[in-house]
Amino acid sequence: MATRATDAGTNQSVERAVSVLRALDAGRAELRVSDVAELTGLGSSTTSRLLSTLERLDMVERDPVSNLYRLSLGILPLAATATNRHPVHRAARMVLQDLATRTGLGANVAVRRDSELMFLCNFEGHRAPKSYTQAGHTAPLHATSIGKCLLTGLTPKERRKLLPEPLAAHTDYTTTSHDLLDDEIDTVRRTGYAIEAEERALGRASLAAPVRDASGDVVAAISLWGPASLLGNHTETNGQRLALTREVIEAADAISQALGVL
């Protein structure tokens, strides 16, 4: 009995420490102890002890003047190792860098993490708007072209269980109905690519294609993103969009081949 109680206590401590790290990742650049306590739901004294421990472990650092806490560079080697060892990241990095340089747009690769997508890397071409996307950032599946590609690996029933309806609206153009999303995903399966026009942010659009592993399963997706005037549903851009669609599909196929697809 004592062993089980000790294990439970240890697990709880780890969960609390991780919640503190996530609060520092999700909040402002620097936070007070009270800010972290509010974000995590932990008591102030517990939060203070956890921050002190994480500071000794070089996972967080405290500004000597303001006494505000932020994530430490000591956490970077762990994050970098996890990213660089991921097979999709290894296969996609150079392909996406070349794609961004060649098209002048932004190029991303992402994987599904439960009900969200997580970006593994991002490159910006000279025509891409300023991006706040970073490795590790998450985004909604239903409101992005890259997310719609990732959702092709699920059945309609699985999608409804994963994403409760109504789907969150990020702009007036966001798909908020599962019935409409089903139609879009059927189109992605048929054409091999997805389009998103200002569904997540006004003035921006994207094209995406799924990435498969050796078993044929969709394990990731890549996207090109940029101004809606280049990638949106404007008639005058359809010719250019067609060329960019071929670019993103070919890049996704190259990554799939690197993952073992014949």
Whole-angstrom CA distances from 169 to 63, 175, 199, 202 are 38, 7, 8, 12
Instruction: List Cβ neighbours of 213 (8 Å cut-off, separation of 6 or more).
Output: 219, 256, 259, 260, 261
How confident is the model at residue 132, as a pLDDT?
A: 60
How far is it, in rounded angstroms, from Cα 232 to Cα 227?
A: 8
Q: Which has more pLDDT, 147 or 27? A: 147
How confident is the model at residue 84, as a pLDDT?
A: 84
How confident is the model at residue 36, as a pLDDT?
A: 94
User: By the 8 A CB rule, do 30 and 70 touch?
Assistant: yes
Mean pLDDT lowest among 5-9, 180-184, 214-218? 5-9
**Segment 165-193 mean pLDDT:** 96
How far is it, in rounded angstroms, from Cα 83 to Cα 63?
A: 28
pLDDT over 80 (residue 19): yes
SS3 for 88-103 is HHHHHHHHHHHHHHHH
Tell me the two tokens of residue 161: 């269980």
CB atoms under 10 Å from CB of 36, counted, come to 23
Distance of alpha carbon 227 from the chain centroid: 20
**Segment 129-148 mean pLDDT:** 85
User: By the 8 A CB rule, do 183 and 190 touch?
Assistant: no
Task: Locate all alpha helices (DSSP H) within 27-71, ordered by sequence.
Answer: 33-40, 44-56
**In the structure, what pLDDT confidence band is assigned to residue 72 with cuts at 50, 70 and 90?**
very high
* pTM, 2 dp: 0.81
How confident is the model at residue 182, as a pLDDT?
A: 97
How confident is the model at residue 90, as a pLDDT?
A: 95
How far is it, in rounded angstroms, from Cα 239 to Cα 186?
A: 23
pLDDT in tens, 36-45: 999 999 999 9
How confident is the model at residue 13, as a pLDDT?
A: 87
pLDDT in tens, 85-104: 899 999 999 999 999 999 99
pLDDT over 50 (residue 4): no
pLDDT over 50 (residue 2): no
CB atoms under 10 Å from CB of 192, counted, come to 16
User: By the 8 A CB rule, do 145 and 207 touch?
Assistant: yes
How confident is the model at residue 10, as a pLDDT?
A: 55
pLDDT over 80 (residue 116): yes
Q: What percent of the chain has pLDDT over 70?
A: 91
Domains along the chain?
2-74 (1.10.10.10), 86-258 (3.30.450.40)
pLDDT over 50 (residue 64): yes
Q: What average pLDDT does the structure give for the chain?
A: 89
Determine the 3-state secondary structure of 60 from DSSP.
Answer: strand
Give kind and range of the element (H or E) at residue 151.
helix 145-151
Q: Which has more pLDDT, 28 or 227? A: 227
In one-letter notation, the amino acid at residue 148 is K
Tell me the two tokens of residue 22: 């996530």
pLDDT in tens, 223-257: 999 888 777 665 445 678 888 999 999 999 999 99
